[in-house]
């Protein structure tokens, strides 16, 4: 990457657009503290954030602490989270995770990668999200949206592994922006750069990035749309009702905080 200055220029323009569209990106998953964020992230594998937020409304009322979650029976927990993907496995892991927090970590979510991945059901991706969003540790977790966008924008090859994409993004973008960038790319992937039926010409980023990649003539003058022009663009229709867009998340977060916090 360091040998290609054009990628750094492209990354700078992409960062400007993402910051303009999503200036203060909230975590898409409802949570009350580090523990409930960990629970929500563990539930989110192969499940939409919208479905997880539906499930955690009841879950956090009944099992909002490690002690309460460790004490619930498998059958009771499964009944609450049954609608999420891989519910039986996740239920077992959640109970074991809560018990390990009590036994080994004084009931608190640990703040290092080495300790987090010891917890049942917690892999490096989940641990990276927790380190980034709960503790503010610089990291760049890569999910399906982020991987797709990185490849589509020509920042990494099509056959890039998750580890390769993480390394590329960590090199191209400033360390102090990784936490926000992670969320901004997720929202952008859901709203503008969806996996299917994607029209590059209608995308604030792909409309100029993809044209340069395809080797077309006379593309040197292609520049990103102005931020003012981007503000007037209309994003595509949602791919699924359960996908949470940025504007929807801001509204839902306020409602969640009114219900649980205030």
51 assigned to active site: no
Phi, psi for residue 160 in degrees, rounded to 5: -65, 135
> How many Cβ atoms are within 10 Å of 196's Cβ, its own excluded?
5
What is the secondary structure of 51-83 as a DSSP string? HHHHHHHHHHHH--SHHHHHHS-HHHHHHHHTT
- Catalytic option among 96, 143, 212, 238: 143
67 assigned to active site: no
The DSSP code for 177 is G
- Catalytic option among 51, 96, 125, 212: 125
* 206, 194 contact by CB (below 8 A): no
Which residue's structure tokens are 């993809």?
Answer: 210
CB contact burial 43-82 (16+ within 10 A = b; e otherwise): bbbebbbbbbbebbeebbeebbbbeebbebeeeebeebbe
| C-alpha span between 138 and 129 (Å, rounded) | 10
* 119, 97 contact by CB (below 8 A): yes
Residues serving a catalytic function are 125, 143
């Amino acid at each position: 990457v360091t040998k290609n200055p054009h990628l750094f220029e492209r990354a700078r323009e992409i960062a400007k657009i993402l910051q303009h569209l999503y200036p203060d990106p909230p975590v898409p998953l409802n949570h009350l503290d580090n523990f409930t964020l960990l629970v929500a992230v563990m539930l989110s594998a192969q499940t939409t954030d919208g479905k997880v937020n539906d499930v955690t409304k009841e879950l956090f009322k009944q099992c909002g602490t490690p002690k309460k979650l460790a004490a619930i029976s498998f059958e009771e927990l499964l009944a609450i989270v049954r609608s999420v993907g891989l519910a039986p496995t996740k239920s077992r892991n959640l109970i074991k995770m809560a018990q390990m927090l009590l036994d080994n970590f004084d009931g608190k979510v640990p703040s290092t990668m080495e300790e987090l991945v010891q917890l049942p059901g917690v892999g490096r991706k989940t641990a990276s999200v927790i380190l980034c969003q709960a503790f503010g540790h610089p990291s760049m977790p890569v999910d399906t949206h982020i991987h797709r966008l990185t490849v589509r924008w020509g920042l990494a090859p099509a056959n890039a592994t998750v580890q390769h994409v993480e390394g590329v993004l960590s090199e191209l973008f400033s360390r102090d922006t990784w936490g926000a960038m992670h969320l901004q790319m997720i929202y952008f992937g859901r709203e503008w750069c969806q996996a299917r039926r994607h029209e590059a010409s209608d995308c604030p980023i792909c409309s100029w990035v993809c044209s340069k990649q395809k080797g077309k003539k006379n593309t040197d003058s292609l520049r990103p749309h102005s931020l003012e022009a981007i503000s007037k663009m209309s994003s595509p229709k949602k791919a699924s009702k359960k996908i949470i867009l940025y504007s929807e998340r801001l509204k839902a977060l306020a409602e969640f905080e009114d219900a649980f916090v205030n």
